[in-house]
Amino acid sequence: MSAGSTRDDVRQGRVLRLGTRRSALATTQSGWVADLLRQGGHTVELVEVVTEGDVNHAPLTQIGGTGVFASALRQALRAGEVDLAVHSLKDLPVLPEPGLLVAAVPTREDPRDVLVARDGLTLADLPAGSRIGTGSPRRAAQLAAHRPDLHVEPIRGNVGSRIRRVTDGDLDAVVLAGAGMRRLGRHAEITDILPTDIMLPAPGQGALAVECRESDPEVVAVLAALEDAATRTAVTAERAMLRALEAGCTAPVGALATIDEDDRLTLSAFAGSDDAAIALRRSATGDASAPEDLGVALAEELLAAGADRIPASLLARTPERTRSPEHSGGHPHSPNDVGAPKEQKP
């Protein structure tokens, strides 16, 4: 059966049940994917799924970090309760899930972090001693390296509750993902877009992953229309670097890959400690046809420069780094990999 005929079969009556977290940002992201599918002639129903990260408000590094937002959606997929699920790619574990397939990585939103500060202040304008909120060790480490005079305070919650900490006067500023602000229509509240030479985003930030069962070829074929090749290549390099560092998604590690008109892929990365004793920045350029190789090579450069001295508890990995054939240059490339075949547990 051809891909075209399977898409026609879905259009003829099957309702695609799209699993989503219930937060405003998650439903907005999932609604965007649903609208793309509806434009293709498909009937889509959103199904809200409650995840551990939604109900447990402890710091992510305590409740599991990697996968706390994805596991319940994946369970719903396996149980046949939904046909596809939309994840924020930065929250997705780097281990390909047996039986499931990241069938599409759509076009990425601007991945940079942003500041929402009192009185319209920028990061440069914040006075010494200002209280800046973030629940991300990656952001905290880069802030400590760039502005050690600021007081970084750990916070959790949705976009609205974090911004209220500023408007209520509890904090002077918060750092958020600009992609989420724009998707929620709150871009006017951004007071500063943080340049990547100060704040590299999380690997995969700004990108979505649309996942389904490998055993459902009809849905796999439908989702192929949502794929953006350039985004897939970029996030593959970023997550391959994360995988090679043996770091989880809550680790103080940032990465951003870009492709130029000559099909050259440039990957920039940060790895650091929360006290700024280690604050490494490196970049490398390679062929866009081999994003995994570039990611692993840059990780090895970071490790040689001292990233292996970052405490294992910060990287959300086991103390002993394990070497595998994948780390030596053999990197399978398939839509299911999304750049990284190894999940790390804190």
Helix and strand totals (H; E) in the chain: 12, 13
- Round to whole Å and give the CA distance between 165 and 133: 8
Number of other CB atoms surrounding residue 172 within 10 Å: 22
How do 113-117 and 192-193 pair as beta strands? Answer: antiparallel
Number of other CB atoms surrounding residue 129 within 10 Å: 9
- Round to whole Å and give the CA distance between 295 and 286: 10
For the record, the structure tokens of 46 come out as 């959103």
> 337 catalytic, yes or no?
no
Residues 83, 17 contacting (CB under 8 angstroms):
yes
Residues 6+ apart with CB under 8 A from 250: 60, 61, 65, 66, 136, 137, 138, 316, 346
**Which run of H or E residues covers position 217?**
helix 217-223
**Catalytic one among 9, 35, 54, 91?**
91
- Reduced DSSP (H G I as helix, E B as strand, rest coil) percent helix, strand, coil of the chain, to 5: 35, 20, 45
Beta bridge pairs of residue 19: 47, 85
Active site residues: 91
